Amino acid sequence: MNDPDFRPCPLSRDGIRPRGVYPHWRLRRERAFIEHVTTLTDRSVDRQIIICLRTESSYTHDVSSVIKRRSRSNQERVEESTLALIASAIQLFARQGYERTTAAEIGINAGFNRNMVRDRYGSKEALLQSVFETFADLLLPAVRRERGGTGMDRVLCQLDDLLDALEREPETMRAMIVLTFETPAALQSFAGWFDSLIGEYEAELVEHLAAGQTDGSVRNDLDSAREAEIFVSYAIGLCFRSALRGDGYDFVGEVKAWRARLAQHFSV
């Protein structure tokens, strides 16, 4: 019997029926399986059985995986591709900045065609707005959550949030820093967005310092507004230095050292 669809399976010695007597859908499956597994006649029957069983299990798993992938809804596919485009944009912005990154590069880097960004967002600028929203959700404590504890605790917690972002989302943080320093030129239209967020962060810090002076955890002789301004300016300086030096700069280590100095400076 030369037809591969009717070739006996090695399992037939145990009374399992040979191939070729199944309905058409089973025949199609058997044909694909036979192409996937060639019976090795120079091995023992026991060895052939093991190969057959293991490979059929792998084949069934692969088919099931394909079926599962095909079962995703259109909304799920849109959400996945949107996340992929944002991640691709963040990666490229962190590496080469906004101006040097093209919409086509973002789409290709995400695994899509060169027109994907324009098809989904209309422009690179529109995608950038989604990237900024990602920054706000992940990195900016002023818009993220309430704080507890003393005023000093809340001041230091703002730095702890920065440290958490640097350790948890280093590439996203670097992209945000690089884009911040492009606002005077290529991203002038977004300068107000950055300025507003920095202002919120500074205002929150003034609030916490004042609360610390009330509860006795922060020195009373400090000008909370001035100290908050210095705090933010120093943070921007650290960010700029990290953008210039890249991986050679221990940004996390510098922030930790700064935190220790501030705790000492603000404490009663």
Predicted confidence (pLDDT) per residue in 50-86, tens digit: 444 445 455 455 545 554 555 677 888 888 888 899 9
Can you list the domains of the chain with their CATH numbers?
4-70 (no CATH), 74-125 (1.10.10), 140-266 (1.10.357)
Tell which residue, 265, 262, 263, 241, has the closest CA to residue 252. 241
- With 60 as the cut, is the pLDDT of residue 232 above it? yes
Predicted confidence (pLDDT) per residue in 75-124, tens digit: 888 888 888 999 999 999 999 999 999 999 999 999 999 999 998 898 89
Which pLDDT value is given to residue 210? 96
Alpha-helix residue ranges (DSSP H) falling in the chain: 24-36, 45-70, 74-96, 103-109, 116-120, 124-139, 151-168, 170-180, 191-215, 224-245, 251-266
Which pLDDT value is given to residue 27? 42
Give the mean model confidence (pLDDT) for residues 157-185: 87
Cα–Cα separations (whole angstroms), residue 85 to 78, 134, 172, 219, 234: 11, 12, 13, 47, 33
d(Cα 222, Cα 219) in Å, to the nearest integer? 6
**SS3 state of residue 268:** coil
Cα–Cα separations (whole angstroms), residue 18 to 60, 102, 239, 242: 19, 59, 70, 68
